[in-house]
Amino acid sequence: MLKKPWTGRFTKKTHELAESFSASIDIDKRLYREDIEGSIAHAKMLGKTGLITKKETERIINGLKKIQKEIEAGKFPFREEYEDIHLNIEERLIEMIGDTGGKLHTGRSRNDQIVLDIRLYLRHEIDEIINFIKTLSQVLIEIADKSKDVILPLYTHLQRAQPVLLSHHLLAYFEMLKRERERYLDCRKRVNVMPLGTGAGAGTSFPVDRQYIADLLGFPEITKNSIDTVSDRDFLIEFISTSSSLMVHLSRLSEELVLWSSKEFDFVDLGDKFTTGSSIMPQKRNPDIAELIRGKTGRVFGNLISILTIMKGLPLSYNRDMQEDKKPMLDTVDTVKSCLEVLTEMLRNIRFKSENMKKALLEGHITATDLADYLTRKGIPFRQAHELTGKIVKYAEENDKDLLALEISELKRFSKHFEEDVFEHITLEGSINSRKSLHGTSKESVLKMIKENKRDIAKW
């Protein structure tokens, strides 16, 4: 007969509805590795401090290792009656090695135990996410390096604005990812703090060696207040917040791929591997993967709202509400990693249509700013140059011409300062090469950025 660890106080069984409602084993069984890792470190500490014998320590550790093998072989008997991963493992340990297994919980509570599991889990997953970010960043640099001569329209307000190098455009996302990596690294510092040994919230009367456990598990710090330790989920909120920021940028890139793959833009071919067809319209190839990344961003935002709402009204210290922290955490981890992985592979298979980009550049007077800049360099105040250029654009539109198609005689009607060399400045290449300000879109500048970014990422 299954026996709850708290049956000494209770005379009646938990109602089956309450038992099912309060169980979390279906979710937190994913934390089995971390739970066993933490329990092994705790057992070693109990042995070191003399709270259990050396023989008992060995039996507990060997039992825990056998349990891990059972779980990984799919042979572990998970039981909803034991609610969570902690009690499932502990009760199985007692089944295997007898009463000695019951000594493992000396000096700890499930309150500090679960915080340890989460911190160990997140520490590993942050490292995984950072590696995915690095791989995606490398792919962006590789594409930028191959696209040094490809020009596309830069859009503002979804209107064609100025010509830029495709490499420059892609490197903008590299900068976003670089910031996200830094945010995860910073977040990891606050995740990487050892909580075990604080008990249910008041600490423990047993002579536990918290620093020893921290050393065993590779934590550079230990938490400073036992009440804060068991009630704190700030590090988890920060992780999901950081992940939300990352998803914003993945969604923005995905949105551009959706737009660029439409016939209205036709700047990219996403290929068959990362698109799907229509159930009714045979001609269609839909950018579903990019759309799903865009859509899954909302899930991560929802997870952030969920954990914030869970925590916002809780008095100190532990409350059962906090059991609900695992779903938003695990879903965020899964969503972020899958989005990073699929987007990276999609970009590896993408084909940019440079001719269509160039065609779009030849419409819409996209070098008008360069015309105004030309007049400014001739001594005309920029505001006047801007106004004159606006009048020239209006004239070109009325005559169904692009700026590059205007004759010098037509330009001189608006200003005597125009000379034949003006056409060197308002070509696409002339516009690009003139943007020599530090980190602008000139080829010289972009080549430097590619080189700098390659050097930076080699240190990641």
- Cβ burial of 358 (10 Å; 0-12, 13-18, 19+) is middle
Please say whether the dihedral angle defined by the alpha carbons of residues 105, 108, 112 and 117, taken in this order, is positive or negative: negative
Whether 41 and 216 have beta carbons less than 8 Å apart is answered as yes
Q: How far apart are the first and last CA of the chain?
A: 54
- At position 453, the amino acid (one-letter code) is N
User: Among 180, 171, 176, 177, which residue's Cα sits nearest to residue 452?
Assistant: 171
Q: 22, 147, 157, 226: which is the annotated catalytic residue?
A: 157
Whether 422 and 411 have beta carbons less than 8 Å apart is answered as yes
Backbone angles phi, psi at 151, to 5 degrees: -110, 140
Strand-pair category, 151-156 with 159-165: antiparallel
Whether 153 and 163 have beta carbons less than 8 Å apart is answered as yes
Q: How far apart are CA 145 and CA 165, in angstroms?
A: 11
278 in catalytic set:
yes
Q: 20, 22, 262, 278: which is the annotated catalytic residue?
A: 278
442 in catalytic set:
no
DSSP label at 403? G
- At position 365, the amino acid (one-letter code) is H
Catalytic residues: 157, 278
